[in-house]
Structure 1
Amino acid sequence: MLISLEWLKQYVDINENIEELEKALTMIGQEVEAIDVQGKDLDNVVIGHIVEYGRHPEADKLSLLKVNVGEEEPLQIVCGAPNHKLGDKVVVAKIGAVLPGDFKIKKSKIRGIESCGMCCSKAELGLGKDHSGIIILPEDAPIGMEYREYVGLNDVVFELEITPNRPDCLSHIGIAREIAAYYGREVKYPKIEKLNDVTFTDDSIEISIEDRERCKRFAGRVIRGVKVAESPEWLKKRIIAMGLNPINNIVDISNFVMFEYNQPIHIYDLKEIAGGKVIARRGKEGEKLVTLMEQEIDVNGELVIADGEKPSGLAGIMGGLGSGIKEDTQDIFIEVAYFTPEDIRKAGRKFGIVSDAGYRNERGTDMENVPTVLDRVTDLILQLVNPQSVGKMIDVYPEKYQSTEIELNIEKLRRFAGKEIPKERIIEILTNLNLKVEDNGETLKVVPPSYRGDLYRPADLYEEVIRMYGFENIEDKMPIEDITAGVKNEVIRLMDESKDALAKIGLQEVINYSFIPREVKDMLHIEKEEIMILNPIVETMAMMRPTLIYSILNNIKENLNRNQDSIKIFEVAKVFEKTDDLLAKEDIHMAIGICGRDEKTLWNPKPEAYDFYVLKGYVEEYLQEIGIKGYKIVRTTNKNFHPGRAADIMIGKLVVGTFGEIHPEISEKMDILKERAYIAEMNVSLLKQYMNKKIKYERVVKYPEVTRDFAIVLDENVLVGDMIEAIKKSSDFIESVGLFDIYRGEHIETGKKSVAISVVMRDKKGTLNEEEINKVQDKILGIVKTKYLGEIRQ
C-alpha cells in the first residue's frame, strides 16, 4: 500500500521527520517496505529568468547567459542547449546542487569563461529521457522558487506492508487513525462542504439485493448533468502518487475516495442501466460478461451487479465494459456496497482478475461507512463538476451490522505482556484506537468499531495494547517455568521410526507434495475415493494423493532423465481418502522405489539390473527393522503391478502392502522406458499394531545343528513360500528353511519345477540323534507329498 505523506497530513498532524515516522509505523505493525522521497535530488534547483543573452566568444554553439534566480546578482551561466532565448523561464541547478548520478555542480570555466550553475534538461534532473534541450517553463513561473515545489515533487511516499487482517489500513484515513492513536492526536476526517446545501431530487432507480449472503449492503445515488473532463492538478497529483494514471474527473474522484477510505466505488453511465434497476444477484446459466479489461467470463452462479436485462459487472471486482464512464457521459449512478470478503476472493481467483477494488473487498471493508463514502464522492463531484441535479441516497441494508463485545481481563493482559501496564494507560490506548471501553473493575468491556473486524477476542486486544504501548517499553525477562520432557506425537513418532529404518538399510529419502495431477486416477488403478481440489494452483496439483506410487515413479523418471543409473529411494508420508462424513481419512504410507543397476566399479564392471528379489530384500529388511514378524508373502492381484512379478505382504488375512515391478503400461505412460521400475508401498498405519521392537536375549545354543537338503519336484503353480512356511511349523526342531535353487529343464516334466531347499535342525536342550532327525524328515516328506503333491527328486 502506497501512502502519500502530504496527503496523510490532511487527516492528522505530523511533526516528526521521515526517519521517526518510519520507526513509529514499523513499531505499531505497519511495516515500511520502502520510502520514495520525491525530489530528493533537486536541492538547490530553482526557477530562473534569462535576463541577458549572448554568444560565447570562443564557441559558436555555446551561449553566455545572465540568469536571475531571486538573489542579489544574476548568475553567469554558459549553456550549450539550442532551445532558449532572452526572457525564458528556465530550471537552474545552482552551485552545491548534486544531481542524479552524483553529478555535483561547481563553479567552473568553460572555454575560459566562468560559469556559476547549469540550466537543466529533464534527463539531467532524472525526470525523463529528453536531453535535446533545457526545460522552458511558462511565463508565470515564480523566479527563485524551488523547482520540486513548483512541479509538486515535494512529497514522500511510503510503501507499507499491510497484513491481511488489517484492511482498514489500506487507506490514508486508516493510517491516520494508527498515527493519531500512537501519538495521542485527533483524526481530521474530510468535511462535507457542498452536499449539505443541496436540495435532493426524487430522481432514483430501483436497487435490490437478491443474494443477501454475498451482498450485505448496497447504496447508490443518481446525479445528472455532469461534464466529464480532465481532473484538476491536485487530484491528478494524488492519483499519480498511488501509482495510477489519471483518467477523468469522475473516475479519479472514485479512486481518490477509495484510497482515502478503503471503500471501492463503481460509477455507472446511467444510460447504460437498462430498465431503471440495479440488482445484486447470482449470475444465470449462460450469462456472459465482458469486463473493463475486455475479458469475457461466464458468470453463472457468481455474484453480479445487473440491470433489468443483463449483468453490468462482477460484484466487488470489476465493472462491465459498457457500463463505465465515457467522454459523452452526462448522467451517472454511484454504487457503494459491502460484499462478503470470502466470496469476492473466490471469484477473483476463479477468473484470475486482479483489481484494486477486488484487493480491498476480498479483505473486507467497513459496512457501516457506506453512506459516508457515498456522500464524500457526491460532495467532491459537486465541488469539481457542478452537476445539474443530485438524487437522494438509496440505501438497501437488510441485515444490520452487529458489534462485538469483548471482555478484557486486566491481569491476564499484564501476564501476557510481561509488564505491569497501568490500567489508565490501557484504557487510554483502547480509547485512542476508537474502541468503546466500559470500566468494570478487574475487567473492561470493549466494543471495537465496525472497521476493525480483526478484533473479536481478548488476545486481539492484548496485541493492540502492546503495540501501542511500545515493544521497546517492555523489558526482556526470561520466563521461569518447570521443564518437563516432551513426548513425540504418535504420528510423527511412527513416521520417524520408518524413515530411520529405511535410511539405515541404504535408501535415500525423497519428499513430494501431497497433490498430484487429475489424470493419475485414470493412469493408476485406485480403489479409494479420491479427494479433488476445487481451485488447484496448477493442474499438476489437482488431487490429494491416495497412493505414493505416482510420486515415486515421477522421482524415478526425473532421475533417469538426468542420467542417474542407480536409484534407490523411499518416502514416508500421508495419503488421503474421502469418507462419508466429508472429512479426509489420512493414513501413513511407506514407499520404496528402485530402478537401474549398481554403479560400475573395478570389481563389478557389468552390474546386473535391480530385480524383484533386490526389492524383496529391502522390504524384508525394513520389516525386520521395525519389528514385524509373522507376515507372509503371497501372489498379488494388484493391477498396478506386473502379473507374476509382484506380491502382497499379509499379516493374518490383512493385506498391509504390495511390492514388485510396476505394470509395463503404467511405466510407458510415465515415460519410464530405459529400465524396469520396482515399487513397494505399505500402510504403516496398519503395521503399527504389529510392531514389536523389544529385544529378547537368548543364550547361545551349544548343541550342533543338522542340515538336510531336499530336491522336490512340484507342479509349476504351487507356491513355494507356502510350502516353506508349512515345513517350518511342522517341528520345533526346525530352526530355518532356505530356498537355494529352482530348476526347470532336462529330466523335469513340462509344467513341473524342481525346488531345492535346505532345512536346518537343532535341539536347544541336547544333540539330535538319528531317530529324531528321521522323524523330522518324515514329517517334511509327508507335508510335501500329501499337501503339495510333491515328490523327492531321484
Structure 2
Amino acid sequence: MRTSRKWLEQYVDLHDLTLSELAKKITDAGLEVESCKPLSAGTHLVIGEILTCEDHPDSDHLHVTTVNVGDEILSIVCGAPNVAAGQKVIVARAGAVLPGGEIKAGKIRGQESNGMICALFELGVDPHMLTDEQKAGIEILPEDAPVGYTDPLGYLGYDDEILEIGLTPNRSDCQAQFNLGTEVGAIFEREVVLPQFENASDCGAATNLTISSTTEQCPLFLGKVIGSVTIKESPKWMQELLRAAGMHSINNVVDISNIVMLETGQPMHFYDIDAIKNQEITVKNGFEEEYTALDGETYQLEKEDIVITNEGKPIGIAGIMGGDDSKILETTKGLIIECASFDHVSIRNTARRLNLSTESSLRYQKGIEPLAPKKAMDRAVQLLIEYADAKEIEETVQWGVIDETQRVLSCTPQEINNRLGTQFALEEIVSVFERLHFDPIVEGEVITVTIPSYRMDMEGMADLSEEVIRILGYDKLPSTLPFMPMTEGKLNKEQQLIRKTEELLCDKGLQQCVTYTLISSAKKDNAILGSENAIELASPMSEERRWIRTSILPSLIGVAAYNEAHGIKNSSLYEISEVSSKDWIKNHLAIVLNGELEQTRWLHESLPSDFYTLKGLIEMYMDKIGINKNRIFFKENKKDILHFHPYRSAEVYIGKDLVGIMGEIHPVYAKENDVKNIVMAELDLDLIGGVKKSKIKFAPVSKYPSVERDLAFVVDRSLPVEKITEIIKRHGRDKETKETILQNVEVFDIYEGEHVADHEKSVAISLEFQSNAHTLTDAQINRVFESILDSLEKDCQAVLRK
C-alpha cells in the first residue's frame, strides 16, 4: 500500500512530525512501514530561463548556455539533446546536493559551468513515473514558471514524501486512503476531516439504463448515466496525489475514477456512453474467446472468468481491466459508471492466469467492504460535477442488495485487562474506541461498540483487545513471566498410539510420507471414509489447495503414482494425519503397497504386495497394539466399490465397529491416477485407539508334544472360508475334560477344478492340537476332531474328501 504525507495531510494535521516519526508510529500500531523516502530530492535548486544556447566548440553533443536564475546569470554546460533558448528549467546551483552527488563549479572541455540544468530522474524521481521524453532530457517547465523561484520541486508538486506500508491480510480496509487517514488520526489522537460526499449520487432523472448479473460471483452491481461531461486536464492536486500513488494522470474523468478507487478502496469503471449500445450492461461468465483489454493486449477468456457484457459481447474483464473499445477518449461526451462487488477468489484466479495484476484486481483480491460501492458512486458523482462539468445526470440503477448490517460488540475493562495483562482505566479504553470511530456506549462497566462497515476484521473480544493495545502502545504491556503450569513429560494415549504405529510399520519396511492437507476438488470427491461436509477455504491459494482433506488415500496414491512414473517399482508407503470436516476431526492411517514388500534376490525370495500381505500387515499391527485377532473381522466390501476392487477388498471391523477398508484399487480408479495394481487401506486411528486393549500375557512354551492333523472337504463355492475357520475354533474344546486343546487353524489350500463340481470348492486345513498340562491322548484328539467334522457337516454342508 502506497501513500504520501500530502495525501494524509488532507485529512489529518501532521505538520509537526518528521517522516521518520510518522513511519515509526504507524509501524508501532501494526501497519508496518516498509520504506519511506522523499518523492524527489535536491538542495540549492532554482527555476531559471535559458537565454542563449550554443553548441560547445569542442564537443559534438554538449551545449553552452546562459541561464537567468533571477539574481544572476549563470554559464552552464548542458548535454541534454532537448535544451534550447527560451526554456524555463530547473537549475542546480554550484554546491547543490543531488541524489547523484554534489554539483561543483568548474570547466568542461574549456568552458565554464556554474551549475546543472536538471532532468527529473536526476532529482530522485522514479523513472517509472516519467515519460520517455522526460527520461531522455531535461525537464521543461511551463512558460509561466516564475524565474528565480527557489522551490521548483514544490512548484511541480514533487515536494512530497512516500510511505510504502505492508498491510497484513486482516487490514485490507487500509487500501482506502480515507480509512488509512482515519487510522492515522486514531494513532496520533488527532482530528480527522474527510470530504463530505454522502448521498451525492442520489440525484438524477429517470433512466433507461438496465443492469443485471447472471452469475453468483457478482452479488451487487451499481450503474449510473452521466449524459454530459467535459474532458480536460485534471486539477493540480489530483495529478499530485495520483503521482504519489505511482499512477499517471490521463485526463480529469479517468483520473477521477482512479482517485475514487484510491480514496474508497472500491474499483470502478467509466464507459464511453456511445460505446454501450441500448445502455444495457450484464455481468456474465462462460465465455471462451479472445478479448482485447484497455492495455491493448489480447487475452484468452475462460468459462470461469467474470465478464462485463453489452448485448452479449464482452466490454471488460470484471474487477481487472476494461475494454479497449469502450474507453474514455478526448471525444467522449457522456459516461456510464459501473461499480460492483465481485467474488475475490474468482478475480484472483483470473488475474493470476492472465498474468494481469492491476490496482483494481489487487483490491478485489484482498477484500472490499460491503458499503464501498455506494461510497465510491457518491464520491465519483461529486467529483464529476465539480471537475468535469457533469450534467444530464440520471438516477442510480442497482442490481442486488447492499449489506448494511452493522456488527455490535461488547466488553468490559476487566475482560480487556485480563487478556492483555494490563491495568487500563475505563476512560482510556473508551478513548481508543472513540478515536477509531467505534461509537462506544458505556453502561456501568459494559462498553458497547458499533463497528464501522470497513473494519471487517473486527469479530470479537480478541480483536477489541488488540485495538486497545496497539493504539495505546505495545510498550505499555508490563514485563511479566508467562504462566506455565507444570506438565508431566510423557505422551498421551493418542500420541502413544501414533508413535507405536510408526514404529511397527517402519519395522516392516514401510516408508512414512507427509502429503498436503489442502487438496483439490477431485481428491476431495474421492475421499475414503471421508465426509460430504468438507471444509472449503475462503481464499484458496489455487484450485489444487481448495479443500481441507477428509481422507489421506487420494494424496498417498499420488505419491505412489509419482514413484511409479519415475521407475520405482516397489513402493511401501504409509501416512498418519489429522483429517477434518465440518462435523469432526480425526486421525487416520493410510497404507499403499506396490510391487513387492520384501525381496531377497540372492535367495530368490520375495513377498508380493497383494491383498493377503496387506491383510496380514493389518492383523500384525492390531495384535501388536493389544487387539486380539479374535476381535478382528474382515467382511465383504460393500461400502466403497468405486475406489476398491469389488471382489478383492474387505471392510475391517473390530467387533461391530467399522474401522477401515482395505484391498486392491479399482482398475478404473487406478487408471485415473496413473497407477497399476496397488493395494491400499485407510483406517480410523481414533476408533482403533478407543478400543479397549487386552493386556499382553506371557506364557511358557508348552513342554508337551503337539499333534497336527489335516483335513480336506468340499463345500459350496460361495461359502466364505472365514465361516469354516470360525466353526472349527468354536469346537476346539474337549467336552469331557473341559480343556481347549485346539491351538492353531491354518488354511493351506483351496482347489477348484477337475474332480470338484462347478459350484463347489475343496478347502484343505491344518489343525494343531496341544495341551499345556499333559500329553494328549488319541481319544481326546479324536473327540474334538469328530466334533469339528460334525459341526462342519451340519452348519456348512461340508463333505469330507477321502
Give TM-score scaled by structure 1 length. Answer: 0.75
* Alignment of structure 1 residues 99-118 onto 2, 5 Å: none
* Pick aligned residue for 1:187 from 161, 186, 192: 192
Task: Find the counterpart in structure 2 of residue 470 from structure 1.
Answer: 473
The equivalent residue for 2:238 is 235
Q: Secondary structure at the match of 1:436?
A: coil
Which residue of 2 is the match for residue 736 of structure 1? 743
User: Would you say 1:763 and 2:771 are equivalent positions?
Assistant: yes
| Deviation, structure 1 residue 170 | 2.4
Aligned length: 767
Q: 1:756 to 1:284 in 2, by over 3 A?
A: closer
Q: What is aligned with 1:580?
A: none
RMSD: 5.7
Cα pair 1:645 1:660 within 8 Å, conserved: yes
Change (3 A) 1:206 1:365: farther
Gaps of 5+ in 2: 734-739
1:410 paired to 2:418: no
- For residues 531 and 182 of structure 1, the distance between their equivalents in structure 2, rounded to whole angstroms, comes to 42
Give TM-score, length-normalised by structure 2. 0.75
Give the Å deviation of 1:729: 2.8
Give the Cα separation in 1 of the matches to 2:63 and 2:314: 66
State the percentage of identical aligned residues.
Answer: 30
Cα displacement string for residues 82-123 of structure 1 (whole angstroms, at most 9, x for unaligned residues)? 6545666555566666767x6676677766777665556677
Write the letter of the residue equivalent to 1:24.
Answer: K
Number of the residue aligned with 2:783? 775
Once residues 472 and 784 of structure 1 are traced to their aligned partners in structure 2, the CA distance between those partners, rounded to angstroms, is 83
Which residue in 2 is equivalent to 1:682?
Answer: 683
Amino acid at match of 1:5: R
Does residue 1:205 correspond to 2:204, yes or no?
A: no
2:249 match: 246
> Does 2:259 correspond to 1:259?
no
In the alignment, is the contact (CA less than 8 A) between 1:739 and 1:755 conserved in 2?
no
**Paired residue secondary structure (2:194):** coil
Alpha-carbon deviation of 1:739?
3.5
Partner SS state of residue 662, structure 2: strand
Return the letter of the residue paired with 2:4: S
Residue in 2 that maps onto 1:19? 20
Q: Does the alignment pair 1:789 with 2:785? A: no
Deviates more, 1:345-354 or 1:608-617: 345-354
The 3 A distance-change label for structure 1 pair 272 and 73 is closer
Task: Provide the rounded CA distance (Å) in 2 between the counterparts of 1:485 and 1:510.
Answer: 30
Give the match for residue 436 of structure 1.
439
Q: In 2, Cα distance between the equivalents of 1:231 and 1:143? A: 27
* Aligned residue type for 1:764: N
Where does 1:11-410 land on structure 2 (aligned, <5 Å)? 11-14=11-14, 15-35=16-36, 37-40=38-41, 42=42, 59-61=58-60, 63=62, 65=64, 68=67, 70=69, 84=83, 127=127, 134-135=137-138, 137-138=140-141, 142-143=147-148, 145=150, 148-149=153-154, 151-163=156-168, 165-190=170-195, 203-205=205-207, 225-264=228-267, 267=270, 325-332=328-335, 344-345=343-344, 348=347, 363-365=367-369, 367=371, 370=374, 376-386=379-389, 389=391, 406-410=409-413
| Match of residue 9 from structure 2 | 9
Q: What is the SS of the residue equivalent to 1:659?
A: strand
Matched-pair contact (CA < 8 Å) for 1:495–1:588: no
Amino acid at match of 2:771: D
- Which residue does 2:425 correspond to in 1? 422
How big is the shift at 1:556? Answer: 0.9
Residue 567, structure 1, aligned to residue 571, structure 2:
yes
DSSP-derived class of the 1:61 partner: coil
Superimposed CA distance per residue, residues 224-253 of structure 1 (whole angstroms, 9 cap, x where no aligned partner)? 542223334442332233333433212212
Residues 60-86 of structure 1: CA deviation (Å, up to 9, x unaligned): 437574655859876665555665456
User: Conserved in 1, the CA contact under 8 Å of 2:709 and 2:766?
Assistant: yes
Match of 2:618 in 1: 619
User: Which range moves more in the overlay, 755-764 or 515-524?
Assistant: 515-524
TM-superposed deviation, 1:569: 0.8
Q: Which residue of 1 aligns with 2:736?
A: none
Q: Give, as a single letter, the amino acid of the residue that structure 2 aligns with 1:708.
A: E
Q: SS of the counterpart of 2:590?
A: strand
What is aligned with 1:557? 561
Alpha-carbon distance in 2 for matches of 1:594, 1:174: 57
The corresponding residue for 1:595 is 594
In structure 2, C-alpha distance between the alignment counterparts of 1:567 and 1:778, rounded to whole Å: 47
Say if 1:204 and 1:236 are closer, same or farther in 2 by CA, change over 3 A.
farther
Q: Identify if the C-alpha distance between structure 1 residues 408 and 700 changes in structure 2 by more than 3 Å, giving closer, same or farther.
A: same
Deviations 1:630-649 (A, max 9, x none): 22445657575557654444
Distance (Å, rounded) in 2 between the aligned partners of 1:228 and 1:492: 71
- How far apart, CA to CA, are the structure 2 residues paired with 1:260 and 1:701? 86
Structure 1 unaligned segments of length 5 or more: list them. Answer: 578-582
- Contact 1:650–1:656 (CA under 8 A) maintained in structure 2: yes
Compared CA separation, residues 457 and 526, structure 1 to 2 (3 A): closer
CA distance in 2, matches of 1:641, 1:291: 49
Question: Does structure 2 retain, via aligned residues, the 8 Å contact 1:592–1:680?
Answer: yes
Equivalence map 1:706-721=2 (5 Å): 706-710=706-710, 712=712, 714=714, 717=717, 720-721=721-722
Matched, 1:461 2:460: no
Residue 20 of structure 1, CA deviation: 1.6
Q: Specify the code of the residue in structure 2 equivalent to 1:473.
A: K
Pair 1:614–1:370, CA change in 2 (3 A): closer
1:25 is displaced (CA, Å) by 1.2
> CA offset at residue 678 of structure 1?
1.8
Evaluate the alpha carbon distance shift between residue 305 and residue 784 of structure 1 in structure 2; reply closer, same or farther with a 3 A threshold.
closer
Aligned pairs for 1:453-602 (under 5 A) are 454-455=457-458, 457-480=460-483, 502-503=505-506, 505-513=508-516, 548-573=552-577, 589-597=588-596
Aligned equivalents of 1:428, 1:186: Cα separation in 2: 13
**Secondary structure, counterpart of 2:60 in structure 1:** strand
- Aligned counterparts of 1:26 and 1:746: Cα–Cα separation in 2: 83
Counterparts of 2:591 and 2:350, CA distance in 1: 40
For the 8 Å contact 1:203–1:222, the answer to whether it is kept is no
CA distance in 2, matches of 1:527, 1:66: 82
Does 1:667 pair with 2:670? Answer: yes
**TM-fit CA distance, 1:670:** 3.0
Q: Give 1:722 shift.
A: 4.1
Q: Which moved more, 1:692-701 or 1:47-56?
A: 47-56
Alpha carbons 2:534, 2:580 under 8 Å: kept:
yes
CA contact (8 A) 1:267 1:324 kept: yes
The offset of 1:471, in angstroms, is 0.7
User: In the TM superposition, what whole-angstrom CA distance separates every residue of 1:154-179 from its partner, at most 9, and x where no partner exists?
Assistant: 32222323455545422222222222
Distance 1:354 1:51 in 2: 47
